[in-house]
Amino acid sequence: DSGVTQTPKHLITATGQRVTLRCSPRSGDLSVYWYQQSLDQGLQFLIQYYNGEERAKGNILERFSAQQFPDLHSELNLSSLELGDSALYFCASSGEGNEQFFGPGTRLTVL
Amino acid sequence: GEDVEQSLFLSVREGDSSVINCTYTDSSSTYLYWYKQEPGAGLQLLTYIFSNMDMKQDQRLTVLLNKKDKHLSLRIADTQTGDSAIYFCAESAYSSASKIIFGSGTRLSIRP
């Protein structure tokens, strides 16, 4: 158990819909990262937040957005969903050290 | 640009050593990682190495880094069935406060 929690574990929705994935980092970790793992694109970095502020952006679509709240939990919002958005979405957190701790992931299926 | 490459599959006999190879392109990579992903699970950091090191050993795991060739390898001694998983090579610049770039993962299967 990494200490990072993600909800929900599974999510099934239809094309065109909007969903919100939630992540709670390890206690005390200020950085939160979101990654997408799909069969064709592999594991890709989406976005990083540090203490509520966006720190780095990767291959995140404009239809996707994220935020980190004062209690440090983070949400990833996916809108106008397409079939190709079906993937595992991982959240990770890090503190002062050089290790990112990954959550168990949310499996999103878009039908 | 940043790119990390590794072979997709490796099959070894139980008890043998497994060697998973990886190459990366970013010369500013400071941290190089090996993550393990078991079926249906998240990623678990196995080990990491700083770019100023050549080798790191941790129990059955040995990481070798050839910075000149930008080549990283993970050796698992005495491979067991529990080692069956996908192994991801990854790199980041500066520190973990940076995004991590992952390879495509190597699926390790163990033959009896």
pLDDT digits (tens, 9 = 90+) for A26-80: 999 999 999 999 887 788 999 999 999 999 898 899 999 999 999 999 999 999 9
Rounded Cα distance between A35 and B49, Å, is 22
Q: pLDDT value at position B96?
A: 45
- Nearest chain A Cα distance for residue B64, angstroms: 19
Which amino acid makes up residue A48?
Answer: Q
Rounded Cα distance between A74 and A97, Å, is 20
**Closest CB to A99 among B41, B45, B104:** B45
Rounded to 5 degrees, φ, ψ at B84 are -60, 120
Instruction: Kindly state the average pLDDT of the residues B27-46.
Output: 87
Judged by average pLDDT, the poorest of A46-55, A99-108, B91-100 is B91-100
Q: Does B31 touch chain A (CB under 8 A)?
A: yes
B65 shares contact with chain A (CB less than 8 Å)? no
For residue A103, the chain B residue with the least C-alpha distance is B42
Amino acid at position A34, single letter: W
- pLDDT in the model for residue A98: 64
pLDDT of A96: 77
Mean pLDDT of B70-90: 95
Residue B1 banded pLDDT, cuts 50, 70, 90: low
The shares of helix, strand and coil residues in chain A, as percent rounded to the nearest 5, are 5, 55, 45
Query: Would you say A52 and A31 are in contact if contact means Cβ atoms under 8 Å apart?
Result: no
Predicted pLDDT of residue B94 = 63
Q: Which of A14-28, B55-69, B85-99 has the lowest mean pLDDT?
A: B85-99
Question: Is the per-residue pLDDT at B97 higher than 60?
Answer: no
Q: Average of pLDDT values for A10-34? A: 96
Judged by CB atoms closer than 8 Å, whether chains meet at A90 and B95 is answered as no
Secondary element (H or E) of residue A63: none
Instruction: For residues A86-109, give the mean pLDDT.
Output: 90
Q: Give the pLDDT mean for A82-86.
A: 96
* Partner-chain contact A102 B44, CB within 8 Å: yes
Alpha carbon of A98 to those of B7, B36, B94, B98: distances in Å? 26, 17, 9, 9
All residues of chain A having their beta carbon less than 8 Å from the beta carbon of residue B98 are 48, 56
Q: Does B24 touch chain A (CB under 8 A)?
A: no
Instruction: Give the residue-averaged pLDDT of A8-12.
Output: 96
Task: For A90-101, give one letter per residue: b (16+ CB within 10 A) or e.
Answer: bbbbbbeebebb
Query: Smallest CA–CA separation between B21 and chain A, in Å?
Result: 17
Q: What letter does residue B109 receive in the DSSP assignment?
A: E
A26 SS3 class: coil
Nearest by CB: B43 against A48, A94, A102: A102
Chain A residues whose CB is inside 8 A of the B2 CB are none
The reported pLDDT for the residue numbered A2 is: 85
Q: Are A34 and B93 in contact (CB under 8 A)?
A: no
